[in-house]
Every structure is written in structure tokens, then in C-alpha cells.
A and B are shown apart, each in its own frame.
Chain A
């Protein structure tokens, strides 16, 4: 279990790595698999959850064939369409995913949609194992009056927009009708959105931001004031230190935090005692509150952290066509009485905040599909360590051969690396079930795997994009980007993506 290594520049033994991670299934079955028929696995969704799952399945058992399908022609999920353009280092992980896709036992099928090109039951008849990794493509909502006014978008839509997701290229958010944008929520996605609104466009111009978004931001007036509104306090803010440090350090931005909001209760202190992340976030916010703000001339933009406020309604602008303001209720924190968590409770005191655009960043939500159990309250597929269950009830049974991973399994939280561990757990469950012989049914028909998928797609006349189709898109985007000093110029329309995938 331990390895001694000899490294250059040292005279003797340098380091001894001893993996504490012990996975019985991975070591035991790697050899046993070769005695069996190939195991046909389909992963639905090619974001981090899907790719980490594919990688661990390929390593975990010999004779595995993994097909990864995605409804987009481009792989990598939120790494491409979620991670902010000014965070290129977070996207480096696609190198690792590309190596997985290049494995001869793995194939990528882009432009294939579960639910329209093929059904879940067709997939389960074609593959021994189906792993759903399709994430969360919807949003939590407030359910308050005025929420459908123009100018109110979910952060997911706005992020897809500036990242060139083909479903959002026509969003056309109006960034010129006033000077204030309100972001509801204080997690990392909220900070991303605020930061993209506030960052100098000269800095954004050398990122992979979508061209139309850069144009819109250049001509926008709304970026002068951005409010980040949370219903609880600084101790409960969901963002993390790196992102906070970054936004507090933005060029030409004055940051406003009220000292009064930084007062901490015994319950707050307890929360911070138990969490290194919260301590460091609080410290950063405290330091920022004490910085003397320079006179605000026209060159400097404003970032306001607003705490202890929850929206109660959205109000139309004077001409009634879009949102013009929102009503906020002041809140207090109370112990929820059950878990010891502090929740925000309205005090009956209201105030109004004028704004021309609202970005709701209060959480993503997964979408249910036909034939799949779904926990509507939590927005996840009921599961036991990744094994899909027939319902949330205690009497639920395990659905054979069906698994779930990533946000669809855990809910829409965490970072790229969270999926690493999530995939490990799901793959451990799959390999355990494999060892128990749950996928071998000598009486049943042998599943066809890739061959079966290709037959279905041909029957439906569905033109899939193979990984080398993505590579053509990738090459074109990078070449176009080089002309503009950007890492890539994203292709943002469906037809253009499919065309680029077929060229050459």
C-alpha cells in the first residue's frame, strides 16, 4: 500500500506515499473482470460527474465499455458553460477528461438527448449500467409577486449567456436601462455574476467570454452599482474565501459593507468555531468594511453587500415593461429549533431598492424525466449511495442497473472536486453490484451497448457528434480566439456548432 520513491536532487529515499483510501471493490475486481463479458455502461451527461464516473469505471474493472452521451454537441457541462471566463485555471480539468474520452473503451456521443432521441427504458435495455449525471438545468424561485417581470433572470441563465451556451445566446439582457443591478444570493455563483458585471471590459476582452456578452457589457450603464443581497448575515454567506478575496480586490470598485451587519451573536460565533471556511470569509468581510472608501467619482463602480434582507415583491418600472425596483423585508436570525441552524425570519419592516436588472442566484434545480423517480422537494433522484431508488419512501426498492451521480444525486452544491468523491461512491456501488452478479442474467437478452445505441440513433435519424467532432469545434474556437487575443472565441449557435463538428 505504500511506495518509496527516489526523486532527483536527493541522495536517498525521498517520500513514502501510503494511500489511506481503500476501496475493496477497485482492487478485487480489476482482475476478476477479465473473465467476464464486457460490461456496457452509459453515462448521461459529460460534466465532471459524468467524466469522473467514466474514468473510475474504466479503471475499476477490465472489460468495461463506457459511452457518454450529452444533449449538447460540446462536452464538459458546467466546466464550459458555468465556470466564469476569468477563471481559466478551473477549466484545466478538461485535459484530464479529454484523456478519458480518448481511451479506446470510451466513446462520446454529443447532440443526443435523453427523453427525445431515446427514452430511459430504451437506454436501460441497451446497457448493463446506466448512470445519470445530467445535473441541474433549472432554478429555484422565490414564488413572490412580479417574479415574471422582464429584466429578472436566474443566475444560471445569465451565466449561460455570457458563457455562450447555445440555449441562451438570445437572452439579450438589458444592461442599459438604469445604473443598478441586484444579485439575490451570496454564494460563489452570485459573486461570479457580480464580478463579471463589475470587471473592466479590457480585462474581460482577453477571456473566453462570448462576444455578444462582451459587447453588451462594454455599452452597459448598469454596471456602476451592483448589490449582493443575502437574507442572512456575513457568517452565513455561502461564498468562499478565494472568490470573496477576488471580488474585494477588483480594480476601480468601491466596496460597501455596513459595520452594524458584522455584529456577531453567540450562535454566529459557534458557527464560526465549527467552520474554517466561515471564519476566513467573515475575516475578509470585516477587513473590507473598515477600508476607507475613496470619493466616488465616475470612474469607480460600487459593490454593496446587503445583509439581512429578503425580497418580498418585484415592482415594475415607470413604463411598466420591466422590473424597476424590489421590496425587501428586514430579517432577524432565529434558531430553527430542530437542527440548530439559524434561519432568517421577517421583521415586518420593509424598504425599497431600485434596480434595472435582477439576477436570482438562490440555487439550481434538477429536472425530472419520464420513467425516473424524483424527490420534488429536494430536487434530486432518490438514491442510496448512488443506487437509484423507486421513491423517497422507506419501502422503496433499488432500481437494478440504474445509478445517479453529481448534482442530480446530491443537489446543486459543491465544486468540481466534489464530484470526484461523489463518483467514487457511485462507482463503488456499481462495482459491488457487479461482483454480486447483478448485471449477469443468463436467461435475459444480452445487452448490446454501443452497437445498440448506434442502431437506435440511426432509426431516429439522430446525428450525434463524436469526440473528434468536438475537437473540430475546439480547434476552430481556438483559432478564431487567437485572432482576438482570447483563448477561444466560442461558437454560440446550435447550427454553427453542428456545422463546425462536421467540417473537414
Chain B
């Protein structure tokens, strides 16, 4: 199950315009802990092409539809980027890419 599917199954408002076909960047999520980010496989060229266009891109950004649940990711925290405002929540300030 991808993070996008997980969000929708739990009524979390994560947009998914292309429904997981790597044709948009609306499911952009920020992996809050760089250790978790490093556990993920590198994004493909296709995912990077979409990340290029994502709002508020950071060094630990991924597309939610490409991050698949697995036991190693237990407890991972993902933030949805602020589109119209930039907030620091609990001191977390995403580094601009």
C-alpha cells in the first residue's frame, strides 16, 4: 500500500490527481526524519521529473504514491507541504531545495 492509498483510506486530504500514475505532483509529501528518507529507494527519473514541479520541494520530498509501506518504515512521519503559506511546525523548517 502506498502512502497515497493509506491517506485516502483514512480520510486524510492528500491530493492524488493522477491516481498514482506518476503524471502529477499533487501527492507530494515531506519525510520529516532524514533517516527514514534514506531508508527509501532512490526516486526514478520519472518520479524526479514530477518532483521538479512540486510546491515547497525539500531535500527529503517524495511522491506519496511512490512510497510503499514496509516494516522498516514503522513510525515514519510525513508532512504535507503548505502550499499558500510556509509554516514552521514544532520548529521543523523544511530546507528549500
Contact = CB atoms under 8 A, between A and B. Distances in A.
Interface of A: 1, 3, 5, 7-23, 87, 89-90, 92-93, 95-96, 240-242, 245, 276-277, 280, 415-417, 420-421, 424-425, 428
B10 A5 contact: yes
A20 B93 CA distance: 10
A20 B81 contact: yes
B71 A11 contact: yes
Across the A-B interface, give the 5 residue pairs with the lowest CB-CB distance, nearest first: A89-B23, A242-B49, A89-B21, A421-B83, A93-B17
B53 A415 contact: yes
Given A17-B78, A18-B77, A90-B24, A417 B7 contact: no
13 contacts: A8-B1, A14-B73, A15-B78, A20-B87, A240-B49, A242-B46, A245-B49, A417-B55, A421-B55, A421-B83, A424-B83, A424-B84, A425-B84
B52 A93 contact: no
Contacts of A12: 74-75
Nearest to B55: A421
A8 B71 CA distance: 10
Interface in B15-44: 15, 17-19, 21-26, 29-30
A87 B18 CA distance: 11
Nearest to A22: B87
A14 B6 contact: yes
Contacts of B6: 5, 7, 14-15
Contacts of B15: 417, 420
Given A5-B10, A428-B84, A89 B74 contact: no
B89 to A, nearest CB: 5
B66 to A, nearest CB: 14
Interface in B57-97: 57, 69-71, 73-85, 87, 89, 97
Contact of A420 (B21, B26, B29, B75): B26
Given A18-B89, A20-B82, A23-B84, 4 more contacts: A7-B6, A15-B6, A21-B83, A93-B17
Given A20-B79, A20-B87, A280 B74 contact: no
Contacts of A23: 84
Among A8, A21, A415, A424, the most chain B Cβ lie within 10 Å of the Cβ of A21
B77 A20 contact: no
A408 to B, nearest CB: 18
A7 B1 contact: yes
Contact of A92 (B23, B81, B89): B23
A12 B74 CA distance: 7
Given A21-B85, A421-B84, A14 B22 contact: no
Contacts of B55: 417, 421
B48 A280 contact: yes
Contact of B74 (A10, A96, A240, A241): A10
Nearest to A24: B85
Given A18-B89, A89-B21, A417-B17, A241 B52 contact: yes
B12 A17 contact: yes
Given A10-B71, A16-B75, A242-B50, A276 B80 contact: no
Contacts of B50: 242
